[in-house]
Every structure is written in C-alpha cells, then in structure tokens.
Amino acid sequence: MSKDGPVLAADGRPLKHSLRRALRAEKMRALALIAPLLIFILITFIAPIGSMLFRSVENEIVPDTLPRATKALQGWDQSAGIPPDEDIFAAMAYDLVIAAERKLHTRLGTRLNYEYTGISSIFRKTGRRVDDFGEAYQDALTGLNPAWKSPGTWVSLMTAPDERARPGAAAELLPETSDLYQSFARLVRDEGDDLSEERPWAPVYAALVRDLRQTDQAVLESYSGPQAALLSEAKAALPDFPVTTFREEFLTADEGWADPQVWATIQAFSGDYTSGYFLNSVDLRKTPDGVAPQPEDERIYIMLFKRTLIMSMIIMGSCVLLGYPIAYLLSNLPLRTSNLLLILVLLPFWTSLLVRTSSWKVLLQQQGVINDVLVWSGLISDAGRLVMINNQTGTIIAMTHILLPFMILPLYSVMKTIPPTYVRAAKSLGATNWTAFWRVYFPQSVPGIGAGCILVFILAIGYYITPELVGGTKGVFISNRIAYHISSSLNWGLAAALGSILLAAVLILYWVYDRLVGIDNVSLG
C-alpha cells in the first residue's frame, strides 16, 4: 500500500467510502423506523393544524359563490358612494340565482354578515325571489313566440348538437345567456334531471334580452346556427318589450342593494384570501375605506386576550406561591418520606381533569361544602354565603389546583440538585437563615421557577374545560370563545384566526421553555 493512497477496507474500497455507506445505511434504518409515526402525525395532527391556519385567511366562499359579480366589481369605484351600474347588478343576479338554487346564498350571506351587519337578511330575501328576476322578459318572449316556453328550444340553441354538455354555436353571439345557461345545465345534470324537460329560470330570459340588445343587426343576420329565425324575430320585437332592469328587481326584493356599503363590502372581500378574520380577532375590521376599529359594543377579543393573560398570570403566581414550599419540603426530606409525600402530588396529577373540575364545582357551590363549613363555623352568615363559582374566583381556584403539580414537579427536580452545603457554608459565614435562603438557595432554584411558570402559563392560556364549567361568563378564556365560534356561531374563520394567535403565543413560549430546559426533558412524574 502506498503511503499517500487512501486507506482501504477489507473489500478493497476506500475506508472513508465504506464508512460513509455504513453511516448512510444506519441513517436510513433509523428514518425507516421513524417514518410510519411521522407520517401518522403529519396526517392526523399537523395537517389539521395547517388546515386551521389556512382557514384563518381563506375566503374562497365569496369568489366561489359570486364569480361573475366579484369579477365585475373589480372595476367599480366604491369611493364614489353610489351603487354600481346595471352590468354589475346583472352579474349579481346570475350568481345569486345559481347560489339560491344550490342553497349557498344563505351561507354566503352569513359569511358577509360578519363584516357588515344586515347583509345576511338582504341575501336571504333576495335569494327567495331571484329566480323571478326578469319575469317581464320571460313573459314578453313567450308571448312573442310560444317556442320560447319549450325547454327543447333552449337545448338546441345553447348546447352543441353532438355533446350536450358543451356550449352551442350561439355561445359567441349570446355570451351572458350561454354562460348562465351552462350553469343552469350543470345544475340540472347534478340533480339527475333531464335538461330537455327543464325550462330555464327567468334570469336566463333576461340575459337573452340583454345579449340581443348588445348584438348588431348585421352580426345576428350572419348567424346561421340553430334557432336563427327565432332570434331574429326576438331582436326585431325588442323595441316593443317592457323595459325593466335588474337594478329595479333587486331594489324591490330588498332596499339594501341601494346601499353602496353592501357592494363595497362584497368588493372588499372578493379575494381568495382575507386578513379580515385576523383583524376581527383584534377588534378591528376591514372596511372599504381601510382598517377601522370595531364598534364599541363589539370589542371583546382584546379584552378576552387580556383576561386570559392576566388570569393565567394570577394562576401561575398562585402556583408558585403554593408550589415552592412543597417542592422545598420534598427536596429537603429524606428520600423515603419525600417519595411518600410525592404521591400526594402525583395523585391529583393522575386524576381525571373532569373529576377535579366536578369536585370543585361541588365544593364551591353556594350550597356546597365550603360554604356549609364556613356557615357552620360562624365565619359567615347563612345569608352571606360566598359566591365562588361561575366567576373568576372559581376559575382561578380550580385551575390553580389542577395546574399545581405542573409547578411542583419541575421545581422539585431542580431543588433536588441544589447541594445543601452552600446554604450551610453561608450560615457558617454568619448569614441568618433568611439571608442564606434568599441570597444562596433561592437564586439556585430560579431555573425551576422559570420552567414551572412557563409550563403552567402555557397550559393555562389554552385551557377550555375548567373555565367553561366553573367560569360562568366572567371567568371564561379565549379558548371558550374559539369553541363558541366553532360549534354555535359557526364563524369558523374567526375561530381559526383566534386559534392561530393563541397557537403562536404558545409556540413562542415553548421555544423559550425549550431554550431553558429542553423539551425532551419534560418529566412525567
């Protein structure tokens, strides 16, 4: 072997190579063992969290339900303060008639109602009548020629003869009618009905009249596709038709459409994504003129976030006050005794959360054990029973009890490692008991306090069950509001945004915790 050549392994390959290969194989094996769980967690847990984050900005319902109107509104200048023109009303009518048939308009109304109160009822009322919009034209056309009554006329006019799902030759000539008719046809097919037996809605007739008005006589004459004669006849009769506009129909259905704010709101929320939910969660709202504070009586989230933080801090503080002496006692007792006493800490830790919450509910009631004892001992009168439940006091007492083990355990594990010799040295140098504790022992226990505080704080700000059961209305946290929006108000976007903010707070705290103690060092008793 030459002196400068690479060191070779037994099989003649360079040793470095073989080692690298072995290392790679080892890494692969480790990853193969981890992969099933990683995939499992990614699907069952990380994807849901991602879906929540996505929902907090997602706004597809507006552009999806109102594709024509949102597009038409792009060019509208809301600052003029007047409702948009007839074209936009027409686009809205087409979108709404489809949405109403698919029963999507109420959901959309609910969505937009979060942004501008009153829209929900406008959409509901209009949705009931929108399939009659343009009835005057329908009557005029069918009066002119009964062929317009027949669904077959429409099928031959609007669809390709060989492929009924495709638009026919008249699509270019009658763009709006064709577009709307295609949506109509898709809906009929989705419901499993036969297109040749379904008469289009009135707005389709109105669209046809609008299209015919736009079309040049010359272009119409050059059209030779199906029903050309019928179209020419209609075009010729147009001047005799009654003149109605979608605008009038909308205003008859609901006055609200005259309010430019309604249109401006739709315009402001016509994107696929919105910051609206996040703004709502900090008591702001997105208005057509920019970001503005919520009306006075709707500002609750900042207050709730503040309350969550303040109460979590109070709970954290009371946990330190109660946990520190216990941890100190446990770490200074002989192992046998301390292990025995530790069971008293671990038992609550292991007991079901609901058991502990229900016992507090029972204890704190006005007719409960604590009040009974106080009355019996004469400390309070029977009439003066303390109100300790369904308010902040109840939440703080119960949660302090529930989270106390999470403070004691990290404190204890830190205090166990503090050598008693330091305190003895301090005392032998003349320190009083207090000085020895405060100047020597306490500083060494600070990491334990830090770890316990962060842990308790993180757990506290995300708590749901206990505040819900003993907090009443004054003692609830932001998480209760999230649950309310998911299951009662159904404002999922806002729930997701509030959840995202809470998640961000927790993750930052955990990052600090990881820096301080390391996540892997979480001890489970």
Partner 1 sequence: MELPPYATLGQRIWHYGFKLLCGLIFFFLIAPILVIIPLSFNAENFFTFTPGMLALDADAYSLKHYQDFFTNPDWQQALRNSLRIAPVATLLAVSLGTLAAIGLSQPHVPFRRAIMAILISPMIVPLIISAAGMYFFYSDIRLQGTYLGVVLAHAALGIPFVIITVTATLVGFDHSLTRASASLGADPVTTFFKVQMPLILPGVISGALFAFITSFDEVVVVLFVGSANQQTLPWQMFTGLREQISPTILAVATLLVVISIALLTMVEVLRRRSEKLRGMSPG
CA contacts within 13 A on the Cβ side of 380: 13
Measuring CA to CA, which residue among 123, 363, 230 is closest to residue 220?
230
Binding region for partner 1 (CB under 8 A) out of 30-38, 138-146, 181-189, 206-214: 30-38
Sign of torsion over alpha carbons 286, 289, 294, 297: negative
Nearer to partner 1, 137 or 305 (CB): 305
Identify the residue among 19, 31, 165, 292 touching partner 1 (CB under 8 A). Answer: 31
Considering the rule CB under 8 A, would residue 132 count as an interface residue with partner 1?
no
Considering the rule CB under 8 A, would residue 346 count as an interface residue with partner 1?
yes
Considering the rule CB under 8 A, would residue 329 count as an interface residue with partner 1?
yes
Question: Is 171 in contact with 178 (CB distance < 8 Å)?
Answer: yes
Strands 290-293 and 284-287 come out as antiparallel
Shortest spacing between CB 187 and partner 1, in angstroms: 23
Nearer to partner 1, 13 or 29 (CB): 29
Considering the rule CB under 8 A, would residue 30 count as an interface residue with partner 1?
yes
User: What span, in angstroms and rounded, lies between the C-alpha atoms of 198 and 303?
Assistant: 55
Q: How far is CA 394 from CA 48, 312, 349, in A?
A: 33, 13, 19
Shortest spacing between CB 522 and partner 1, in angstroms: 6
Backbone angles phi, psi at 457, to 5 degrees: -65, -45
Shortest spacing between CB 276 and partner 1, in angstroms: 17
Q: How far is CA 497 from CA 126, 277, 330, 482, in A?
A: 30, 6, 43, 9
Question: Is 112 in contact with 261 (CB distance < 8 Å)?
Answer: no
In sequence order, the β-bridge partners of residue 284 are: 293
Judged by CB under 8 A, the chain residues 448 through 487 that form the site for partner 1 are 458-459, 461-465, 468-469, 479, 482-483, 486-487
User: What span, in angstroms and rounded, lies between the C-alpha atoms of 384 and 354?
Assistant: 29
Helix (H) or strand (E) holding 178: helix 175-190
Shortest spacing between CB 429 and partner 1, in angstroms: 18
Nearer to partner 1, 171 or 363 (CB): 363
Identify the residue among 16, 20, 27, 166 touching partner 1 (CB under 8 A). Answer: 27
- Draw the binding track, 383-402, toward partner 1 (x: CB under 8 A; -: no contact): ------------------x-
Token pair 């292990």: residue: 339
Question: Is 30 in contact with 37 (CB distance < 8 Å)?
Answer: no
Considering the rule CB under 8 A, would residue 422 count as an interface residue with partner 1?
no
Considering the rule CB under 8 A, would residue 512 count as an interface residue with partner 1?
no
User: What span, in angstroms and rounded, lies between the C-alpha atoms of 404 and 316?
Assistant: 9
Shortest spacing between CB 341 and partner 1, in angstroms: 7
Considering the rule CB under 8 A, would residue 325 count as an interface residue with partner 1?
yes
Considering the rule CB under 8 A, would residue 356 count as an interface residue with partner 1?
yes
Binding region for partner 1 (CB under 8 A) out of 1-9, 131-139, 291-299, 336-344: 336-344
User: What span, in angstroms and rounded, lies between the C-alpha atoms of 19 and 31?
Assistant: 18
Question: Is 273 in contact with 58 (CB distance < 8 Å)?
Answer: yes
Considering the rule CB under 8 A, would residue 489 count as an interface residue with partner 1?
no
Shortest spacing between CB 413 and partner 1, in angstroms: 13
Judged by CB under 8 A, the chain residues 65 through 124 that form the site for partner 1 are none
Considering the rule CB under 8 A, would residue 363 count as an interface residue with partner 1?
yes
Question: Is 183 in contact with 98 (CB distance < 8 Å)?
Answer: yes
Considering the rule CB under 8 A, would residue 152 count as an interface residue with partner 1?
no
Backbone angles phi, psi at 9, to 5 degrees: -85, 180
Identify the residue among 238, 291, 302, 362 touching partner 1 (CB under 8 A). Answer: 362
Question: Is 256 in contact with 263 (CB distance < 8 Å)?
Answer: no
Binding region for partner 1 (CB under 8 A) out of 9-17, 112-120, 318-326, 422-430: 318-326
Identify the residue among 116, 250, 360, 412 touching partner 1 (CB under 8 A). Answer: 360
Considering the rule CB under 8 A, would residue 319 count as an interface residue with partner 1?
no
Shortest spacing between CB 308 and partner 1, in angstroms: 11
Size of the site for partner 1 (CB under 8 A): 89
User: What span, in angstroms and rounded, lies between the C-alpha atoms of 12 and 256?
Assistant: 86
Considering the rule CB under 8 A, would residue 256 count as an interface residue with partner 1?
no
